Amino acid sequence: MTTMSRVPRLAVALTLALFVPFAARAELVIEITQGVDDPTPIAVVPFAGTGAIPEDLAGVVQADLARSGQFAPVDRGDMLSLPSSEAEIFYRDWRAIDTEYLLIGRASAGEELRIDYALYDVNRQREVTTGTVTGPVNEARMLAHRVSDAIYERLTGIPGAFATRLLYVSVTRNPGGKDYYRLTLADSDGARPIVLLESREPVMAPTWAPDASQVAYVSFETGRPAIFRQDLRTGAREQLTNFRGLNSSPAWSPDGNTLALVLSKDGSPDIYLLDLASKRLKRITRHYAIDTEPTWMPDGKSLLFTSDRGGRPQIYRYNLQSGITDRVTFEGVYNARARVAQDGRNVALVHQQDGQYHIAIHDLVTERLHVLTSTDLDESPSIAPNGSMVLYATKLGDRGILSAVSVDGGVKFRLPARSGDVREPAWSTYISQ
Amino acid sequence: MNQLPSPGKALTLLFTAAFLVACSGSDTKEDEAAAEAARQAEVAAAEAAREAERRAVEEVAAAEQRELEQAAMAAGTVFYFDFDSSVLKPEAQQALDAHIALLRTSDESVRLEGHTDERGTRDYNMALGERRANAVRDYMVVNGIASYRIETISYGEEKPVAYGSGEANWSQNRRVELVK
């Protein structure tokens, strides 16, 4: 909470549903609570348009850049001119308001939507990059996010992760009645939410297939926990497990062929591998302790998991080739539910410190752990595909909300729901175009 | 209770019949008739006695059953646990004893639902909830309830009874519920 006032310029609630008259209203609201100390000023000029442009495309880009915490977008009201071509740019207009970069664009909507954009360096008075994205008109927001990705990468050297999607679980408590559990799919900014499953019984542990075409999750809809997978294009749904005891923690292998999961049918919870084509099941841990929360290393050669075989929950690593298990975390009495960044180095996990649960990053190379959050009851970390941010669930008052923090701890934003509790965010891989 | 014939009353009836037979006159036909009447009375009395006995046993059993049911009801169907623990507390064992005593009188099945508080990760808590349900199951099995009669399920931290944080809420959520 002490970080709230550090960057007052960014401490604004951006209601991202404002420009989405045709799509479902976003359930999540984004509140940026902390940006970098010296964010780069950038002006994102409203794009000129021909045809029926269904979105404020520049507004989507501007919100993306603001949410990254690394940019301080110029208010539209402060803009002295609204160029949409290089000939219309008067650099003095932008120097006058201390802008470092200027992004302009033109969109045309016909059978397809096409966005041409150009980025200029105000001080050097020259073009930095230009580009074009095209796609279906009803994917206008995703196209705008792709512009954001290109700009972000050009200016930071790191690929953007805006043209991605989120899964999350929300719960509506009904006084006197039963709760409603919903699994929702939304864009990375919370826009365009689609309910994939609604149930009176718990829904848990949503996770992505590596190509982002399918999701897997645990549903109690049969009266017992079972793992399901659902195809996002066809909507086809398949129940994968129905064993006595736990059926939990599905995790897709990087090649998409195998699902790691947790079953307790043989006694205590152990990690199993389910071959999705043959449906053959292979048990890979055998221990009377709790083994759970498997996650794959990006190379697919080993898995991290949580086990209390040492007395308290810690992260262990199982090597699929050697069959050897070794302990990964030693700092503190509680480290659980690891998620590995695509670099195979940064591991986001839940770490207990002074009785509170925080999100931390454990570096597999230096074997050092650093705590990223100061709130309590933080859980379910999920790393952006570019490795820059960790999305997680926490509590604000009595409500469950989503929150995000950069892996260096410098940028923070919150995504509370308009109502009810939200939890278990899962950030997708890059969506294939 | 008072309206029912007691075994004592039945015996009195029997003795009266026997006395009547013993004191009957010398006329053969009358003797035979009297003997027949006495025999019938004897059979009726014996039957009444058996019936009374049966009802009395039933009554005692029903009373015992009611007592067991009341004890089980008084014990409650929720058993609480300490933080990150699946060890049955003495008061939980005592409460379970009442349920076990009642379950021994039937072949009813039960479902044990394990729960945790919100602290810690969700999937680890699923495992912890199962451990708690298993701890209750094992206690019941050791005390003579067949394991096939017991189904266990863990809900982890997904179904709290007390929303909100703090030990006052958490302690209510760390539980196993017995459901019939």
- The answer to whether residue B13 is domain-embedded is no
Domain boundary among B75, B107, B131: B75
CATH class of A214-421: mainly beta
In this predicted structure, what is the pLDDT of residue A17? 29
Please indicate if any CB of chain B lies within 8 Å of the CB of A421: no
Whether residues B68 and B85 share a domain: the answer is no
> Which residue range(s) make up the domain with B142?
76-179
At residue B167's C-alpha, the angle toward residues B172 and B128, to 5°, is 60
Whether residues B49 and B84 share a domain: the answer is no
Please give, rounded to a whole number of angstroms, the shortest distance from the CA of B84 to a CA of chain A.
10
Task: List pLDDT tens digits, range B101-148.
Answer: 999 999 999 999 999 999 999 999 999 999 999 999 999 999 999 999
d(CA A225, CA A222): 7
Please indicate if any CB of chain B lies within 8 Å of the CB of A262: yes
Please indicate if any CB of chain A lies within 8 Å of the CB of B76: no
A395 bridge partner residues:
A400
State chain B's maximal CA–CA distance in angstroms: 98
Whether residues B71 and B118 share a domain: the answer is no
Please give, rounded to a whole number of angstroms, the shortest distance from the CA of B128 to a CA of chain A.
8
Q: Domain spanning A35-156 has what CATH number?
A: 3.40.50.10070
At residue A102's C-alpha, the angle toward residues A97 and A103, to 5°, is 140
Please indicate if any CB of chain B lies within 8 Å of the CB of A270: no
Q: Which residues of B touch A352 (CB under 8 A)?
A: 120
- The answer to whether B122 contacts A424, with C-beta atoms less than 8 Å apart, is yes
- The answer to whether residue B12 is domain-embedded is no
SS3 label, residue A418: coil
The number of angstroms, rounded, from the C-alpha of B93 to the middle of its chain's C-alpha atoms is 17
CATH code at B81? 3.30.1330.60
- The answer to whether residue B4 is domain-embedded is no
Whether residues B142 and B170 share a domain: the answer is yes
Query: Strands B78-80 and B175-179: what pairing?
Result: antiparallel
Whether residues B88 and B142 share a domain: the answer is yes
Q: Which residues of A touch B155 (CB under 8 A)?
A: 202, 220
**b/e code A37-75 from CB counts within 10 Å (16+ = b):** eebbbbbbbbbbbeeebbbbbbbbbbbbbbbbbbbbbbe
d(CA A338, CA A362): 9
Domain boundary among B55, B75, B95: B75
User: Which of B126, B134, B150, B151 has the highest number of chain A CBs within 10 A, making it the mutation to test binding with A?
Assistant: B126
Q: In terms of C-beta density within 10 A (0-12 exposed, 13-18 middle, 19 or more buried), how is residue A261 classed? A: buried
Whether residues B70 and B104 share a domain: the answer is no
Whether residues B59 and B94 share a domain: the answer is no
For A:227-256, CB contacts with B below 8 A are: 245-246, 248-249
Examine the pLDDT at B2 and tell me if it is beyond 60: no
- Of all residues in chain A, the one with the smallest CA distance to B154 is A246
In this predicted structure, what is the pLDDT of residue B114? 98
- The answer to whether A173 contacts B128, with C-beta atoms less than 8 Å apart, is no
- Of all residues in chain A, the one with the smallest CA distance to B121 is A379
The number of folded domains in chain B is: 2
Closest CA to A190 of A227, A165, A215: A165
Whether residues B56 and B91 share a domain: the answer is no
CA dihedral B137, B139, B140, B141 (to 10 degrees): 80
Predicted confidence band at B29 (pLDDT cuts at 50, 70, 90)?
confident
- The answer to whether residue B5 is domain-embedded is no
Predicted ipTM beyond 0.90: no
- The answer to whether residue B115 is domain-embedded is yes
Which of A27-36, A377-386, B19-28, B31-40 shows the lowest mean pLDDT across its residues?
A: B19-28
Task: List pLDDT tens digits, range B3-15.
Answer: 544 555 555 655 5
Please indicate if any CB of chain A lies within 8 Å of the CB of B158: yes
CA distances to A95, A101, A149, B54 from A125, in Å: 10, 10, 23, 107
Whether residues B38 and B113 share a domain: the answer is no
Contact status, residue A91 vs residue A125, Cβ threshold 8 Å: yes
Query: Strands A48-50 and A40-44: what pairing?
Result: unpaired
More confident residue, A431 or B180: B180
pTM for the model stands at 0.86
Please give, rounded to a whole number of angstroms, the shortest distance from the CA of A14 to a CA of chain B.
28
Please indicate if any CB of chain A lies within 8 Å of the CB of B153: yes
Q: Which residues of A touch B130 (CB under 8 A)?
A: 245-246, 264, 269
In this predicted structure, what is the pLDDT of residue B8? 56
For chain A, what are the domain ranges? 35-156, 214-421
Instruction: Give the pLDDT of chain A (433 residues) as one tens digit per residue.
Output: 333 333 333 323 232 223 333 445 788 888 878 888 899 999 999 999 988 888 999 999 999 999 999 999 999 999 999 999 999 999 999 999 999 999 999 999 999 999 999 999 999 999 999 999 999 999 999 999 999 999 999 999 999 999 999 999 999 987 766 789 999 999 999 999 999 999 999 999 999 999 999 999 999 999 999 999 999 999 999 999 999 999 999 999 999 999 999 999 999 999 999 999 999 999 999 999 999 999 999 999 999 999 999 999 999 999 999 999 999 999 999 999 999 999 999 999 999 999 999 999 999 999 999 999 999 999 999 999 999 999 999 999 889 999 999 999 999 999 988 888 999 999 999 876 5
In this predicted structure, what is the pLDDT of residue B19? 54
